Amino acid sequence: MSPDLPIRTLSERESRLLSRLAATGHAIFTVADAQGMFDGDSAGLPLVLHRLAVKRWLQRLERGKYRLIPLEAGPEAQWAEHDYLMAAALIQPYYLAYGTALHYYGYSERQPRPVWIATTQRKRPLTVDGTLFRFVTLGAAKFFGYTTIQLLDQPVQIAGREKAIADGFDHPAYCGGVLEPAKGLWFGSDELDLDKLIEVSRRLGNRAGQRRLGYWLERLNLADDAMLARLSLPEERNYALLDPAGLRSGPKDARWRLIVNIPEGQLLEWRGH
């Protein structure tokens, strides 16, 4: 055992608390959850939880919230729970979104950091064991289109394939740029329901997002004229940026009212990778 790590001993009271938490399925719990299982004065519970965290029986996620570290971690507790499972414990309601969802589906090769979480609540970024979690607050009208997957036998909510791409065109910055949802269109073309994708984009209500989707569907030759017509906004006069994080200049695409601020050589060169 490393000399820098505390010995993972347990007092009788600590052992009973951990056993009760595990037996009742509290893999992730709050101080309030633990109070009903604690033998002793509740005023002493925070100190016990702190000691258990120091000894690596628990991991502190944020103020007042912990997770159990399983015995399978071994004597030095070298165990890292899936970031997505951790994300699921940090806020409700939520779904994994933007660059995180695109990476999960294999549509983006960018490193999935930070972990992006869509929610209707406000919450500051949080770092746990070196992983940054960022929260995007959505209005109720945009908080839809997610599904439940199973990771390590635990349910996790994540944007559906179509919602992940539509969200990406809605907020490209949360994906690493507009090319990332565009890659999702291309690499996911055999499994995406384009009719559903268009309806999701329209429902989001972001005209610039709709125009970005239309631009890429046309550029990648993935949609017919009838589909593209559903995204056209002939009354739109203002030009939006294809990539909001890019330069504010570039050729103008008159049909989609977009400033194509990505060099021509970079627009499609990724398709050969």
The reply to whether 119 and 246 lie within a common domain is yes
Give the model's pLDDT for residue 40.
73
Same domain, 19 and 55: yes
Q: Residue 4: inside a domain, yes or no?
A: no
Same domain flag for 56 and 104: no
Measured distance CA(168)–CA(162) in Å, rounded: 10
Say whether both 144 and 223 belong to one domain: yes
Please tell me whether residues 59 and 131 are part of one structural domain. Answer: no
Q: Which of 22, 38, 73 is the last residue of a domain?
A: 73
List pLDDT tens digits, range 17-38: 888 888 888 888 888 889 888 8
Between 74 and 205, residue with greater pLDDT? 205
How high is the pLDDT of residue 73?
53
In a domain, 78, yes or no: no
Query: How far apart (Å, rounded) are the C-alpha atoms in residues 157 and 18?
Result: 27
pLDDT at 215: 97
Whether the link from the prior residue into 6 is cis, omega within 30° of 0, is no
Mean pLDDT of 170-186: 95
Q: Helix, strand, coil: what percent of the chain each, to 5?
A: 40, 15, 45
Do β-strands 65-68 and 28-30 pair in parallel, antiparallel, or remain unpaired? antiparallel
Residues 204-222: what's their mean pLDDT?
A: 96
What's the token pair of residue 58?
A: 């628990």
**In terms of DSSP H, where are the helices of the chain?**
12-23, 31-35, 45-54, 83-88, 98-104, 161-170, 179-187, 194-204, 207-219, 225-229, 264-267
- Residue 1 within a domain: no
3-state secondary structure of 107: coil
| CA 216/CA 214 separation, integer angstroms | 5
Structural domain contains residue 3:
no
As a whole-number percent, the residues of the chain with pLDDT over 70 amount to 92
pLDDT score at 135: 97
Domain encompassing residue 16? 12-73
User: 90 and 69 in one domain?
Assistant: no
Listed residues 20, 43, 73: the one ending a domain: 73
Query: What are residue 240's phi and psi, to 5 degrees?
Result: -105, 165
Same domain, 29 and 110: no
Number of residues in the chain? 273
Give the residue among 141, 149, 132 at the shortest CA–CA distance from 95.
149
The pLDDT of residue 6 is: 46
Beta pairing class for 115-119 and 131-137 = parallel
pLDDT at site 71: 66
pLDDT of residue 233: 83
187 in the same domain as 98: yes
Residue 2 lies in a domain: no
CATH at 69: 1.10.10.10
Identify the band that residue 9 occupies on the pLDDT scale cut at 50, 70 and 90: low
Least confident of 70-74, 109-113, 239-243: 70-74
Q: What confidence score (pLDDT) does residue 194 get?
A: 96
Sheet holding 28-30, edge to edge: 28-30, 65-68, 58-62
The answer to the question of residue 7 being in a domain is no
Strand partners, 127: 132
Classify residue 241: in a domain, yes or no: yes
